[in-house]
Amino acid sequence: MSSRPIRFAMISALLVLPLAACGDAEDSASGGDTYIVYFTGDYSGAVSANNASIDAGIKLAAEELNAKGGIDGKKIVVETANDQNDPTKAVSLLQQRLAKGTKPDLVYPGSSSAVSLSLLPILTRQKIISVGGTVSGLLNDPAKFPYHFGISSPGKDYAPALIKIAQEKGYQKIGMLYANDATGQSSAAIYKAAVEAAGMTFVEARFESTALDMTSQLNQLKAESPDALVLNGYGTAALYAMRSRAQIGWDIPTYCDQLSSGYPYLKNLREDELQNVNVVISTVTLATSERHPGLDAFIAKVKAGPAGKEITTTGWGLYATGHDSLALASYAAQQAKSTDPDKVKAAMESLAKPTGTPPWFYAGPKGDLVSFSYSATNHFPTTSESTFQYVGPGGYSTEGFYTSGKA
């Protein structure tokens, strides 16, 4: 018997199968009595520790909401996918998942902006609500990605904390040392705009990822006599910058950007190498800040869970990112009285501020530190002047609170 028809059938099936995932939103609907949360993240690669914290937060929120009857009467089921922080793999896994027929009701679209950006066109086509903690400005495009909402503050929200200090101290010229890559350039553009808008002068120097020393770049900046320095970079880049700064004896007031602030400097540098260095931190993560009434119980559950040991590395904030994503989606569904994506989207864009304590932790006990006042043109949260503040370098306590001076 000729094998050509069989081959033809197999090839046709292979061609049709992926296309099935690209169908219209009306092709299928999510399960009747379950609310499916699809979390795609890096479970085995470089950012798996961060991913484990977000994963734990989502699962704790699901547990908490299921105990109260779920979302719109539906039981929450959390599905996970290991995309290894690879956009191509994330797209492939999502398409495989969608090919199964039932759509997720909510997607947490990855641990990096690159992964989120790769998934959003599919999620938009499928009309699936997504809430994520990735912060690239490209994600805040309601015209292009109408069903995506950010849960974390974008990079530009960190700059006002610097401007506030600069104005208080009377700085006239701000220098910035940053990585010559997409992240560094994006951060520099944000700070340049903020500094110049405040009437100050901005000077800059860049470093390559291959740099083992930054004394040349810092000497170049020093020659411009800035009043303060902003630093971008993570890992060895941040360490080389700090050590080179100390080597040339330049104890200029130094303010780390969002990326650079996350690095545990005290584990690798001496205190005298960090003289006049400040990191920007969410006010809510400081041990001295007023606590959300549910936070202590949440932290206790986090610590008792399988990802509990990561709390001293990531702080409780990253667990809250996962938790708050689901809490926010649940609140919007409650407002919409439905889990229909169009109704939830409409509810999100006119979200009423919760009365009393909000069901999410990261906005603080009064819900005023981060505001989810989304609109048809802005799908990212807004912050106030007190959302972020500069403190001395430190680390996270066993409860996940940031403590200056603690390694």
Partner 1 sequence: MTTVWAGLATGAIYSLVAIGYNVVLLASGTFNFAHAQLLMIGTFLAYTGAVTLGLPVVPAVLLAAAGVGALALLEERTAIRPLLGRSDAHGALITTVGAATILDGLAAALWGRQPLTVPSGLPDRPLELLGGTVRPVDLVLIGLTLLVGVGLHLWSRHSLIGLASLASAEDRDAASARGINVRLLGVGAFVLAGLIAGAFGLLVGARTYAVFNLGHALALFGFVAIAIGGAGSQLGGLIGGFATGLIYAFAARYVGEAYPQLVVFAVFLLILFLRPRGLFGTALERRV
Calpha distance 54→42 (Å, rounded)? 10
Is 155 or 175 the residue whose CB approaches partner 1 more closely? 175
In the complex, minimum distance from the CB of residue 9 to partner 1, in angstroms, rounded to a whole number:
40
Residues near 129 by beta carbon (within 8 Å), at least 6 away in sequence: 105, 106, 107, 147, 148, 149, 329, 341, 344, 345, 348
Rounded to a whole number of angstroms, the minimum distance from the CB of residue 190 to partner 1 is: 19
CB of 88 to partner 1, least distance (A): 20
3-state secondary structure of 293: coil
Distance (Å, whole) CA 67 – CA 88: 36
The minimum distance between CB 248 and partner 1, in angstroms, equals 6
- Helix 182-197 with 159-169: angle, nearest 10 deg: 40
* Least distance in angstroms from the C-beta of 236 to partner 1: 5
Tell me how crowded residue 86 is: count the other CB atoms within 10 A of its CB.
18
Single-letter residue type at 315: G
> What is the rounded distance in angstroms from the CA atom of residue 14 to the CA atom of residue 132?
32
Q: How far is the CB of 278 from partner 1 (least distance, A)?
A: 21
The residue among 270 and 309 lying less far from partner 1, judged by its C-beta, is 270
Determine the residue type at 28: S
Smallest separation (angstroms) from partner 1 to the CB of 193: 20
| In the complex, least distance from residue 221 CB atom to partner 1, rounded to whole angstroms | 9
CB closer to partner 1, 7 vs 267: 267
Three-state SS string over 188-207 comes to: HHHHHHHHHHCCCEEEEEEE
What is the distance between the alpha carbons of residues 284 and 25, in angstroms, rounded to a whole number? 39
Cβ closest to partner 1, residue 46 vs residue 197: 46
- Kindly tell me which of 208 and 290 has the beta carbon lying closer to partner 1: 208
Instruction: CB nearer to partner 1: give 25 or 246.
Output: 246
Element (H, E) at 314: helix 311-314
Whose Cβ is closer to partner 1: residue 186's or residue 330's? 186
Tokens, residue 236 = 């060895």
For residues 48 and 283, which CB has a smaller minimum distance to partner 1 in the complex?
48
Q: What whole-number distance in Å separates Cα of residue 144 and Cα of residue 237? A: 35
φ, ψ of residue 253 in degrees (nearest 5):
-55, 125
- Residues of the shown chain interacting with partner 1 in the complex, contacts defined by CB under 8 A: 46, 180, 205-213, 215-217, 219-220, 235-236, 239, 244, 246-249, 267-270
Inter-residue contact 73 to 34 (CB < 8 Å): no
* DSSP strands (E only) in 284-357: none
